[in-house]
Amino acid sequence: GDRRQGLRSLRRPQGQVPRRGEGRHRRRRRWGEGGMGEYSHMASLPERRAVFISSVVDFLKSYGFDGLDMDWEYPGAPERGGMAADKENFRLLMEELRRAFDAEDQGWDLTVAVPIYRSKLEDGYDVPGLCSVVDAVHLMAYDLRAHWDGFADVHSLLYRRPHLDFGEYRERNANNGVLLWEEYGCPRNKLVLGTAFYGRPSPSATPPTPACTPPWRGAATRALHGRPGP
């Protein structure tokens, strides 16, 4: 089949992403970037999850936010302090957040920011379970390549380049990310494609070369500002 169908299908989604609280300013608190091991600890026991959920509810009420975008990077990732039990615990946390939000009857949104790597999904995401309780799934289809890969490249590809993307890079593109989440059981009408409006600076390749994906050493050490196209 046409592997570009993933992005094309989002042009005419089956239904619409639920929009709660029409007419209000849409402000959403994002939670989960940094201190990943602490999130594994919090999610591991019901009483800890309850304390966290209570603090979220109080925060939304106090500051007038209309929802929560849960950005845990990443459950089940040992290199970030995760553990195998994160997958189930994350689902339980989101289910309990959904019940707490519904009980408040404020029309709060519950969304989740997620990776588009197969290995990350398998390790930490109960896709059908998560998608059944959230209003939208925000696909992080950016930073798919950067200085940590050791070569210069576009960091947010839409499609795979057959002549260039091999091995683990075959699936590192936005189109594949959409297809992957559908494959794992998420309804299409809940998928929201994250689009990057920024670039990634890189130092000069060593040695200088006009070839695609030239090697580089480390990240840029100073701010480099690009220019918009015509």
> Among all residues, which ones are annotated catalytic?
73
Helix H or strand E encompassing 47:
helix 46-63
Least Cα distance to 218 among 151, 145, 154 occurs for 151
Query: Which residues in 38-146 belong to E strands, given as ranges?
Result: 67-70, 109-114, 136-139
List b or e across 194-217, with b for residues whose CB sees 16 or more CB atoms inside 10 angstroms: beeeeebbbeebeeeeeeebbebe
Q: Which residues pair with 109 in a beta bridge?
A: 67
Distance in angstroms (rounded) separating the CA atoms of residues 91 and 87: 7
User: Is residue 139 a contact partner of residue 177, using CB atoms and an 8 Å limit?
Assistant: yes
Query: Which two three-digit tokens encode residue 104?
Result: 């408040």
Least Cα distance to 153 among 211, 207, 193 occurs for 211
